[in-house]
Structure 1
Amino acid sequence: MLPPSSQRQAPRHRLLLPGPGLTEPASIVKTRLVLPKKITTPIACETCRKRKSKAKGLDCVYRDPPAAALDKALKERDSSLAALELFRAVQTRGEAEAAEIYRRIRLGDDPEAVLRQVTCGDLLLQLHVEPETRLRYEFPYVTKMPDYLQAFDNAYLRSQVYEWTSKYNASESASRRALQGQAQYSRPYQAATLVEPKIDQVRPSQWTMVSSDDASMRAVLRAYFQFDYPFFSFFHKDSFLDDMASGGEVHCSRLLVNAVLAAGSHCLQSIAKRPDTWDPLSMAYRFAAEAERLWKLETSEQDLLPKLQASMIMNVQCNISGIDKTGFVYLLQGAAMAHRLRLFELQDGAMLRPAFAYTAWCFFWLQSTLAYIYKLPPLLQSPPKSPLPDPIEAPAWYGELFVRYPQSESLVPLQHGQLQRARLEQSCFINNVASAVAGGQPNAHDLVSRAMVGLEAWYKALPPCLSPQNIVFPSQLKIHLHYYNILMELHKLLQNTAAQHSSRQPGSPTIAEACFESILRLYYLRHSFEISDAMLTQFLTVFAMNASQALAGSREPIQDEKTMSADDSTLAEKTTVRSALVLAIKGLRDQGQYYFFPQKTSYLLLSQLAPDDANLVQKFAHVSDEARESRVIQAREIPGHFPPDIMHVLGGGEDVYSSELIRQYARVVLDFKSDAAGAAPSRKDGDASGGDGSSGLAVQVEEGQVPNTALPYSELVEMARNVRI
């Protein structure tokens, strides 16, 4: 029986005590779930952008920002341009430079670094070698062209070179003419550089014992072929350089190389003591002394052709250095060598005949020019029988010279073939003039008249590049100067004839003198007289002589031009004449920086002027007094003489030659007394015969024993045997 409910026991549980009570009732705080910030992509990736869908920003390729994209494009462009410029440099540079660029690329150098070295090297080189490039020079004393040169139809004042220097605006015309390949009209000749790759291939040290510096001697060769060779061309340039590079001895020899280097030493401005050919420390003396030593050693038949060519170079150098007595000996023995080589005979079939024919014509030109200048009978009666080829049909017969002007990429030819043919053809008439002037022949008047007609026909037949409108290079200007110089001399011989006084044609003496002065002034405006030019001395001397004679009749003090009235034509004419004299003597002094002869000529001419005129010349021509020490040395060392034209202006007759003029120079610059000046100066070495330092030929000239006709070959050979260098 179950017990009753009251008696049941309840389940036992552990009683839990309540927690501690709160003093304040708890407040209810509403909490908010914070979700992570969504990552947004400001720029759509390339794939999403093309699909036009929202980019998720995961594993996408993004477009660069504009600034970064621009930098990247510029770097790619620069790298591409650098590679292109290097490619062009390898194409256009010389073999050595292109090989160096290729080597640097193969080594892994940065293209931009290689290009930077190439371009910066070019800029530094241009800064180093770029000469004077101003557009024009100004006349000293009176800057404008004289009015009397513009009073007639003067073709030379209508030439391109004068129009450029007087009318054209430089800033507008420079670029236009440069683009047309006519930089020669806007830049002086000395601003150009000769471009002749064959010179880079030669090693002059293999041909001379004077120097082992091939780089310096190559610079001398470039100066020679740029300044001296165009007018005094006595051998074929290409044949000479080819043999010089290959070691051939047909067109090249040690004697010829040293003679060329001696002449080139006068042309390079960086060489010191250029006119001091008497100074053993000068480069010109050292090369000339070596050439003189080799002259005595080279006696074989194989050496005759280059030896003959060297004799012409050495003759010119002796003449311009004031020792032309020795120069005449070289000329005389050269004539004997030409006879042995049979240069003046027409022979076909020989391989070397073109070189022989060219040399024969060059020798004929030299002997006729010297005979005309020194008033001597020519050595040769007739020109070579070999005809002169057309330079257009046979350009290789003459060769060509190229120059490059600053800021111009084109090569400018000197028209060497056209110039040489005109120069050599002109020598035929010069030879006839020399025979008529110095020979004293009874039919001299007819010879002079025929020579004038022939010269005028020659002048009219000049090619377009040698016309008065187009001439610009110094060699082209000189061939026109030579033409008018001869015309002036011929007019003096015929001035007593009635027909001469009644003619005012372009060949008249007044017009000839005006054209002669116009060309000289154009020469100065375009190129100045500060470049090496041996032939220019002859023309400057004639120019100074004419001005001195114009002033000789009136030695009045110079007045102030500001107070001169407008109708004072006499003083205006004197001012014009004095401006010509200042320009002429300035030119002689400028040439005196290269050669001894014009240096002393300027001092002699200056000593003959009135004090006021001399002071004017010294002021505007910047002529300083000669150092007494150099006067003493030079008067003792130089036994040469001057042409009769200079003797005439100095007060001597045309039959007064070297010894008298050197004595006069000694009296002027050394204050020698007349009795002390009676002894002829002596030379230490190099004279042919006689204690007075004169050669056999020069002695005959001074004693009047030269026959009135050209010397036969037999007499040339006999005379050459009796004189030695």
Structure 2
Amino acid sequence: MGGPPESILRRIKEGDLLLQLSLKPEMRFRYVFPYVSEMPAHLYRPDNPYIESCIYEWSALQRSGFEMSTCTNKRTTDSPRSSSSPEPRPESIYLMPFHAAEIIEPLLNDIFPSKWTVVCTDDVLMRRLIAAWLSAEYQWIVVLQKDCFPQDMAHGPGRRGCCSSLLVNAVLANASYWSPHNLAYQFLAEAKRLWELESDTPRLTTIQAAILGAYCILIYKWAVEMATQIGLLSPPRDSFLDGPVNGKQRRKTLSRNFTAWALFNFQALHVYILFEPPLIKKPPDVPLPDPATNPEWYGQIWLKYPGDSKLHTTHFPYQFQAQCQVRVTMNDMWMERFGSSRQSSPEGGTTMLPSTQLEQTTEFYARLKAWFDSLPDPLTPPRIVFPSQILLHSNYQNILANRYESITPTSSNVEMTNTIKQAASCNFETLLRFYYLRHGFSYGDQFLVQPLNTLGFWSLSKVHAIVSQNHEIHEENNSELKATQSTPLLAAKGLYEQSASFYLDRLTLQLLRSKMRPQERNLLESEVLFYDRDYAGHHLPGNQHDNRIKSEENNKKKDGQAGSQTVSDRAGDNKDQGSTEKEPIREVRSKWVVTVRSVDDDPEIHRLQKLVKDNLKLDETVEWSDEDEGAFY
């Protein structure tokens, strides 16, 4: 504007620092999709209930610079809570990523984890790790009742009903950022030592610790066996409210009943991912209380966002009840999947007898749709915002798509089958895009690998279909192809960013990349992974990537920020993470089913360990037998 440089420098030097400190920093942030920044047109379907959600509306208004949203007016009354509980405002939860929030849990102030572990003496650090675990992993894989655990921990090792040294070390190992040189590895080693001492004695806390360590298949099976031995899966009908007056006994009863459902939920998701018959045939013989009237049975979780004086509830009681309900149906589906109504297929898998295929699918669809239609207000499509809520809906849409992919189309059902399947696929992609739009993929979330894997391979098959149907297509000018290509690139971006925390994501990314055409690989390098041209386009600029990882690890060691645990050896500490050609894969023992589309697919040809061996460079010097301890996801 023509002002002299001296006046500008003087303003910088003599500015009112106190006034500057009183200003609230800008905390709003919107992640931008790679390659094509807009939502693809094919997602704007009349039957897509998520397009009008608050999470998308607020993100769009952020980009336009508006402060208010009509979704505030559409919002109905929040779930019942005590009169002293603060009323959450929608602005923070829809404008800030979930990982910007801090969990508020007064019970953690009274615990001293150092009394339960020999690994660390810093109670402040370990409290922060447990708080981070409650706000992240606990939201999706629930293993214990969140109030009983810290209450017994506060009394010290003399109180073992709902807490044990094994359980504390297992929780802290899950909460920490994994590396052979940091606390997470030490907590895991201590938990393994304690497991070897206590695994022969069935105990509630041992079962909970086994679920936390269930990346080892044998541990999961031991958890089910222990639960059977102590009668956890068919407990007496002594509900929390009708239980004994004694506080310790009430906590034990509550913890038992809650853990029974937690174990059932985990195994239902576990067998669905691994294509295995359920070990637990039916849900626990314990009724689930109404979250609106008995939220204390579940335990509330409250969040505080930067610059916001009010607290926000995650609606965990509603979330856990909804998980229990849908996983009952999932478990029944897998009981039917491996039941007597199946016949062997020439490919080696099993298919349902034609006479019962459509009938069974229609019955399960009716149950799933009834569950979806009866979701409480905080979990409905317009209101969902937290990662666990998005994962709940994406899991539902994935189930529908997988189920109807198995239907043999006939003249009478082809229209209905295609409509449900296409709508579920569209809704599934919308949800994963909303996850990225609001929360991004860089913050460690070990449960993202399953939907990102599904999204990546599904959308890549659509790219191949478009290209095969249009042999003379001009790719750079085809908007439909570009929009479709943007989806596997988004999935690859998620896997790439998650691979900084989880080895499994790195393997999945390499598999996805191996299935891409050269065109998509070039886009992946230039639009997502930012390959350095000076390295001839063959690998990532390793120094930049590795320095970022090491910097994150050092910061987390210093300030105790929680990250996540990998499944196997740490990937890329001193190596190039982007190269799929130069670095052999080591120690792949995984039964995880990766590229499957239908519930009738043969899982054996889709398991990760087979796909890695067939498609990637595997270190043949490493051999494993069936007698090896466990099998990694």
Give the shorter-chain TM-score range.
0.7 to 0.9
Q: Give, in whole Å, the separation in 2 of the partners of 1:246 and 1:170.
A: 51
Quote the offset at 1:499 in angstroms: 4.0
Aligned to 2:494: 587
Verify: 1:260 aligned to 2:171, yes or no: yes
Paired residue secondary structure (1:431): helix
Structure 1 residue corresponding to 2:362, chosen from 438, 443, 449: 449
Unmatched runs of 5 consecutive residues or more in structure 2 = 1-16, 73-86, 244-248, 343-352, 532-538, 543-571
Change (3 A) 1:288 1:441: farther
Aligned to 1:640: 589
Amino acid at match of 1:500: N
Quote the offset at 1:617 in angstroms: 1.0
Aligned length: 527
Quote the offset at 1:231 in angstroms: 1.1
Where do 1:217-256 residues align within 5 Å? Answer: 217-247=126-156, 248-256=159-167
Verify: 1:151 aligned to 2:45, yes or no: yes
Quote the offset at 1:175 in angstroms: 14
Q: Is the 8 A contact 2:593 2:608 kept in 1?
A: no
Deviations 1:229-288 (A, max 9, x none): 11111101111111112212111111111111111114xxxxxxx3x5xxx324332221
Q: Give, in whole Å, the separation in 2 of the partners of 1:390 and 1:193.
A: 27
CA RMSD in angstroms, aligned pairs only: 3.3
Verify: 1:294 aligned to 2:243, yes or no: no
Aligned to 2:82: none
Quote the offset at 1:179 in angstroms: 8.6
Deviations 1:645-688 (A, max 9, x none): 33779xx96313354234346xx246x6xxxx4x7634xxxxxx
Amino acid at match of 2:170: A
Structure 1 residue corresponding to 2:204, chosen from 287, 294, 305: 305
Amino acid at match of 1:522: F
Aligned to 2:435: 523
Structure number with greater CO (CA < 8 Å, separation at least 6) is 2
Verify: 1:360 aligned to 2:239, yes or no: no
Larger Rg: 1
Paired residue secondary structure (1:136): coil
Aligned to 1:82: none
Q: Give, in whole Å, the separation in 1 of the partners of 2:526 and 2:472.
A: 15
Q: Give, in whole Å, the separation in 1 of the partners of 2:522 and 2:435.
A: 25
Q: Is the 8 A contact 1:448 1:490 kept in 2?
A: yes
Verify: 1:421 aligned to 2:310, yes or no: no
Q: Give, in whole Å, the separation in 2 of the partners of 1:552 and 1:260.
A: 43
Quote the offset at 1:170 in angstroms: 3.7
Amino acid at match of 1:205: S
Amino acid at match of 1:310: A
Aligned to 1:716: none
Where do 1:383-402 residues align within 5 Å? Answer: 383-402=283-302
Deviations 1:498-553 (A, max 9, x none): 44312279x61111111111111111111111222222211111000101212334
Quote the offset at 1:374 in angstroms: 1.2
Q: Is the 8 A contact 2:441 2:498 kept in 1?
A: yes
Amino acid at match of 1:253: S
Verify: 1:340 aligned to 2:221, yes or no: no
Change (3 A) 1:551 1:345: same
Quote the offset at 1:639 in angstroms: 3.2
Change (3 A) 1:541 1:378: same
Amino acid at match of 2:230: L
Structure 1 residue corresponding to 2:220, chosen from 331, 350, 373: 331
Q: Is the 8 A contact 2:585 2:617 kept in 1?
A: no
Q: Is the 8 A contact 1:557 1:612 kept in 2?
A: no
Structure 2 residue corresponding to 1:602, chosen from 488, 506, 509: 509
Verify: 1:472 aligned to 2:385, yes or no: yes
Q: Give, in whole Å, the separation in 2 of the partners of 1:504 and 1:297.
A: 53
Q: Is the 8 A contact 1:251 1:306 kept in 2?
A: yes
Where do 1:369-518 residues align within 5 Å? Answer: 369-439=269-339, 441-442=341-342, 445=357, 446-503=359-416, 508-518=420-430
Amino acid at match of 1:160: C
Paired residue secondary structure (1:503): helix
Amino acid at match of 1:660: K
Aligned to 1:550: 462
Aligned to 1:97: none
Aligned to 1:28: none
Q: Is the 8 A contact 1:174 1:186 kept in 2?
A: no
Aligned to 2:546: none
Quote the offset at 1:141 in angstroms: 0.5
Q: Is the 8 A contact 2:218 2:629 kept in 1?
A: no
Change (3 A) 1:504 1:493: closer
Paired residue secondary structure (2:96): coil
Q: Give, in whole Å, the separation in 1 of the partners of 2:442 and 2:454.
A: 18
Amino acid at match of 2:331: N
Q: Give, in whole Å, the separation in 2 of the partners of 1:520 and 1:346.
A: 38
Where do 1:144-223 residues align within 5 Å? Answer: 144-167=38-61, 169-173=64-68, 180=89, 182-223=91-132
Paired residue secondary structure (2:289): coil
Q: Give, in whole Å, the separation in 2 of the partners of 1:545 and 1:252.
A: 42
Report % sequence identity.
29
Change (3 A) 1:647 1:514: closer
Q: Give, in whole Å, the separation in 2 of the partners of 1:541 and 1:690.
A: 27
Paired residue secondary structure (1:644): coil
Q: Give, in whole Å, the separation in 2 of the partners of 1:455 and 1:648.
A: 19
Change (3 A) 1:612 1:176: closer
Q: Give, in whole Å, the separation in 1 of the partners of 2:527 and 2:183.
A: 32
Q: Is the 8 A contact 2:587 2:622 kept in 1?
A: no
Amino acid at match of 2:420: S
Change (3 A) 1:447 1:255: farther
Verify: 1:534 aligned to 2:449, yes or no: no
Q: Give, in whole Å, the separation in 1 of the partners of 2:191 and 2:441.
A: 29
Quote the offset at 1:353 in angstroms: 2.4
Q: Give, in whole Å, the separation in 1 of the partners of 2:312 and 2:367.
A: 32
Deviations 1:121-148 (A, max 9, x none): xx79x99xx9x93331111100111111
Aligned to 2:522: 615
Paired residue secondary structure (2:150): helix
Amino acid at match of 2:328: C
Q: Give, in whole Å, the separation in 2 of the partners of 1:246 and 1:423.
A: 31
Quote the offset at 1:299 in angstroms: 4.7
Q: Is the 8 A contact 2:170 2:191 kept in 1?
A: yes
Change (3 A) 1:614 1:397: same
Paired residue secondary structure (1:216): helix
Q: Is the 8 A contact 1:388 1:421 kept in 2?
A: yes
Where do 1:683-694 residues align within 5 Å? Answer: 690=626, 693=628
Q: Give, in whole Å, the separation in 2 of the partners of 1:191 and 1:175.
A: 24
Q: Is the 8 A contact 1:372 1:433 kept in 2?
A: no
Amino acid at match of 2:444: S
Q: Is the 8 A contact 2:88 2:311 kept in 1?
A: no
Structure 1 residue corresponding to 2:481, chosen from 563, 574, 583: 574
